[in-house]
Chains A and B, each alone.
Chain A
């Protein structure tokens, strides 16, 4: 390479190195390869040369042009990358700043428990039935073999509402969701498998009683249903609900006006630690029994043909046991701190195949 070309290359390389921004780099590019650039000027001179001179000089110039083009391009990319880096550095933020604020909504634990009950009993072929909170005396008591003088009625401190019309009996706030069972038996032919979760009311207010609470009752009326099925169904439920396949379950004879034989059902727990399924103590969680022949008769079912069982349980009670919630009253206080602590995500509904 002749000296002038070598010089041009050297000077261009130096100029590129000296160019630290886009504009300086562009000046070098134009000053070298542009229309009036130094290399372009040299190329223009070729025309005035002899063919031999031109051949030798042309080849050298072409090589130089390729070389410089490559160097300029490379420097250009370098500067571009540096500029981008500089911009990104300038755009840097404090990533520990909070994300976009979003209030987390949650479902109430009572809703969750009812969902779980529906899922478990649903798997056993039950349907969820509902009924009014304000009941007639007949639906709440009389149909259930609990006449006005029955001692069981004094155990249930009932809230009363004025009669619908003068001369009619007072209406009651249902003390149990049994009215739903009655309506179901009157409204559809057996076989019947329903659960009836809902609000219930009793005039009792202290640390362990609330004037309003929730119950889930159940009813099975089919031919050939025995007390053995009652035991199986409720053991299956309790073990699924508490997620303990070998949860100890005990059945004790008891009395309710609307079932016979009647029983109370205990699960094993530890009085000391409160742990379900552990320890030597028993905790009552359910009442149940074979539907009383008089209740069947009151609803027009012939006890010689149909039999079955009914049960009832406190939803808050089971929720408290399941989640270790200490205070019944807190369920209704709508304290956001409590709701956030015990609420469940709406995006994980109670699905058996996902696990409760």
Chain B
């Protein structure tokens, strides 16, 4: 909300400086968003008088003036080119060093065509204050020289813009801000007095309320014989200072009260109201054209004001174009109502209509103010537009807004951390308009003022369904008991300033804190570090992606389609971060970086819900090196990435199995699924399907992996036994087995490993051969076994026996035969 300093001073008697005022506003919760001081840029301009002006000896169009610009500049010579520069003229003088807003130059003392010139005489245009006629500005006769020009011209009226939090409807008024500042000790709130206007007869327009839930009380008044024209200068300046465009006196008056008292009013042209009665009722499908030209269909939840011809106004939000006042209006009907904040908030949101009135009604307005506000508005209308007022008409009645709140003084410290004198706390509350009902050394009970709709309000709880009844009831009672008190504590604290609460470090429960992360969280941290240590760059991608891209990586259930996406390409919750990673590969390749590795650990969404997914991707080629040509990324790299990550997460690596049934976005022959046991899928890896890459316009090779960290069972935290360190050297033997080409190598390795569990400690594959040296449809697998004797060196016979078992096991499991 914006207000000018002079407007504030209408309500606040204070000697505080602008800086003190803005600092206090920040402290008490009325955050200053900005201060505009139109006079600040003009601070060095001063009023002056030309004592003498003579023709410049060397220039026809210049005059040499002796200028009196007050203290320090009693007689300055200024060379001036303005045709109206003459002796006796009162002018605006810019001393050296002055920045001229319009031209951006800074005035320097110097010589013009040989004559000294110690400043400049200015036009209003040069001050950025408008287009005046030729020559320099002429100030009124008798203006004392040496005054600050902005002070003289009343430009020293800074405008303060504050952010109003949703609870403070009362601060959407200059008077409300003044009250807060006065309560914080920054001056005195001036009394606000209303002069009542006697009615001269019965109103021809009356009120009826059929939707009391939305409007408990409405007042109105007809004023006849008004002349609606431009507002007087003071009112126009008020409104202009806060960025409002003056329209006509009647409209400007409503805007004035909206901002001055936070009391929105509406004026109808009484001659356009049909049927003599205004009804406040539910909408019924009517189409309503608002003042801003927008059209809206009224729903039964909307509160509207209608006459016999139809809807005239969306109550509390915006009036209609048809029934508004104009220059021709001679009879005006003023509406002053209380509307239900919730109804207004929902209605305003439904129709996406924003207005100063809605902003105030949805936060709640002063519930006792309508009669006085209507009198004040009537008075101002008659003062500015003339006319005679009818009697006030009304419907409904003043709601029972009276509430009490209680404060235990000790709670200021035990909740607020503030040591405060009870008397002072009470004094602060009284400054805000709370009235003391009861007070002793221990506590105070106060009446809540009619404008504070945020204090001690009726309890609105929304407890978790299924809370045990006794527990829920006790908790609800606790909130009822504590809430109003906390409301008051907040008021005292904000007026005192939170900086007055001493900071206390949290008490230490355990000298050495417990781990902040759960084992699973810590495991995810290790996972990230492992992938990064393997050369992958971590990324963070949006959880929502374009639906057609998501569809390339999995199901896109309707339940995961955003109802209100911000952009068409951010409309579907992603099944896996691979969607983003592939897009990143494409974007980076387009930037000239095709050879990269990325990973992300983040959520993936499917019909079963949300799960954590670790996905990695490698694209392009290895770096070229002398003697080593670039190699395209291959699935062995991403397989190694995936297995390293699983290992660091504590997966039982021995028990993992691989199969070639990876999702369809992989190359069907170059991808695999990693499982633990027969069912539990821990992840998959492989080369991405060429058709997918082609569809995405990616022309570099891409391999990727996906892991499901939550699926990896948490390792058992058992203490390890001591390692079995043999005193005897291990020995190694190589075998070449011929097997059918479709036998997975892993199957053979497992069979061999199992041939003699006590001696064979490692089996590794060192060669795969397919070609004319083996029968067609077959391949040769070269494997190395490591035998580790524990009790003594193996004899040739023992070694022979193990080898026989290896060959037998290979044959049995894979139909493998030793290559001849």
Contacts and interface: CB of A to CB of B under 8 A. Distances in A.
Contact of B517 (A128, A296, A343): A128
A227 B418 contact: yes
A261 B342 contact: no
Interface residues of B, number: 118
Contact of A125 (B166, B498, B510): B510
Interface stretch (A7-15, A35-43, A70-78, A96-104): A96-104
Contact of B461 (A231, A264, A298, A345): A298
B474 A334 contact: no
A335 B498 contact: no
A26 interface: no
B28, B497, B503: most-surrounded residue (chain A CB, <10 A): B503
B538 A343 contact: yes
Given A128-B521, A255-B166, A334-B541, A264 B513 contact: no
Contacts of A119: 516
B564 A159 contact: yes
Given A154-B349, A160-B564, A162-B558, A250 B542 contact: no
Given A229-B504, A300-B467, A211 B538 contact: no
Nearest to B585: A334
Contacts of A299: 463-464, 475
Contacts of A124: 505-506, 513
Contact of B345 (A151, A193, A303): A151
Interface in B466-491: 467-468, 471-472, 474-479, 481-483, 486-487, 489-490
B409 to A, nearest CB: 15
Contact of A134 (B501, B533, B542, B605): B605
Given A149-B341, A162-B559, A340 B537 contact: yes
A335 to B, nearest CB: 7
Nearest to B623: A101
Interface string B582-599: 011001100101001111
B464 A162 contact: no
A125 B479 contact: no
A125 B565 contact: no
A283 B88 CA distance: 52
A103 B485 CA distance: 61
Nearest to A108: B538
A104 B535 contact: yes
A257 B167 CA distance: 8
Contacts of B387: none
B539 interface: yes
B820 interface: no
A346 B486 contact: no
A83 interface: no
A227 B417 contact: yes
Given A151-B362, A301-B475, A303-B482, A346 B532 contact: yes
B479 to A, nearest CB: 4
B90 interface: no
B538 A300 contact: no
B29 A226 contact: no
Interface string B522-533: 000100111111
Nearest to A212: B542
Contacts of B558: 162
B567 interface: yes
A226 B341 CA distance: 33
A298 B609 CA distance: 26
Contact of A264 (B31, B416, B573, B625): B31
Nearest to A186: B464
Contacts of B610: 132-134
Contact of B538 (A105, A227, A260): A105
B154 interface: no
A105 B536 contact: yes
B56 to A, nearest CB: 44
Contacts of B562: 159-161, 173
A49 B163 CA distance: 127
Interface string A299-338: 1111111010000000000000000000000011111110
B622 A302 contact: no
Contacts of A110: 540
A224 B415 CA distance: 8
- What range describes how many residues of A lie at the interface? 35 or more
B631 to A, nearest CB: 11
B26 A133 contact: no
> For A98, A106, A226, which residue has the most chain B Cβ atoms within 10 angstroms?
A226
B459 interface: yes
A216 interface: no
Contacts of A143: 462, 464
Contact of B504 (A152, A155, A232): A232
Nearest to B535: A103
Nearest to A98: B625
Interface string A103-141: 111111011000100110111111110101110001000
Nearest to A105: B532
B512 to A, nearest CB: 10
Given A231-B501, A261-B416, A336-B593, A212 B544 contact: yes
Nearest to A266: B26
Contact of A226 (B416, B509, B623, B625): B416
Given A253-B29, A304-B482, A133 B504 contact: no
A151 B166 contact: yes
B503 A130 contact: no
Contacts of A106: 532, 537-538
B575 to A, nearest CB: 14
Contact of B414 (A159, A211, A226, A332): A226
A20 interface: no
A296 B482 CA distance: 11
A297 interface: yes
Given A253-B490, A336-B593, A297 B535 contact: no
A123 B515 CA distance: 9
B28 A253 contact: yes
Contact of A252 (B467, B498, B587): B498
A226 B415 contact: yes
A236 B505 CA distance: 7
5 contacts: A105-B534, A105-B535, A149-B345, A253-B29, A304-B482
Interface of B: 26-29, 31, 165-168, 341-342, 345-346, 349, 362-363, 413-418, 459-464, 467-468, 471-472, 474-479, 481-483, 486-487, 489-490, 493-494, 497-499, 501-510, 513-518, 521, 525, 528-544, 558-567, 570, 573, 580-581, 583-584, 587-588, 591, 593, 596-599, 602-603, 605, 609-610, 622-623, 625-626
- Closest 7 pairs between A and B when the two form their complex, measured CB to CB: A228-B417, A122-B516, A255-B165, A103-B535, A253-B29, A253-B494, A334-B584
Given A101-B623, A103-B597, A160-B562, 14 more contacts: A97-B626, A107-B529, A111-B528, A127-B517, A133-B610, A170-B563, A229-B506, A251-B499, A293-B479, A294-B461, A298-B464, A305-B478, A333-B587, A343-B537
